[in-house]
Amino acid sequence: MHFPELLAFATGRTRMSHIYQPLLIRALVDAGGTAILRQLAHAFLAQDENQLRFNEKLIKEMPNRVLTKHGIVRHDGPLVSLVVPTLRYVERAQLKMACEQRLQEFIHKGKTRPL
- From its phi and psi, is residue 87 left (phi > 0), alpha (psi between -120 and 50) or beta? beta
| CA 39/CA 98 separation, integer angstroms | 24
DSSP state of 98: H
Count of C-beta atoms within a 10 Å radius of residue 25? 15
Q: What is the pLDDT of residue 18?
A: 74
CA atoms in the 13 A half-sphere facing the CB of 112? 7
Q: Which amino acid is at 14?
A: T
User: In the chain, what are the domain boundaries?
Assistant: 3-47, 84-115
Output the pLDDT for position 40.
93
Q: What tens-digit pLDDT sequence spans the chain (115 residues)?
A: 888 888 888 888 767 777 788 888 899 999 999 999 999 999 999 988 888 999 999 998 889 999 999 999 998 988 999 999 899 999 999 999 999 998 888 888 876 655 5
Cα within 13 Å of Cα(21), Cβ side: 12
pTM of the full structure: 0.65
Confidence (pLDDT) at 24: 87
SS3 for 51?
helix
Question: Is-contact 33 26, C-beta < 8 A?
Answer: no
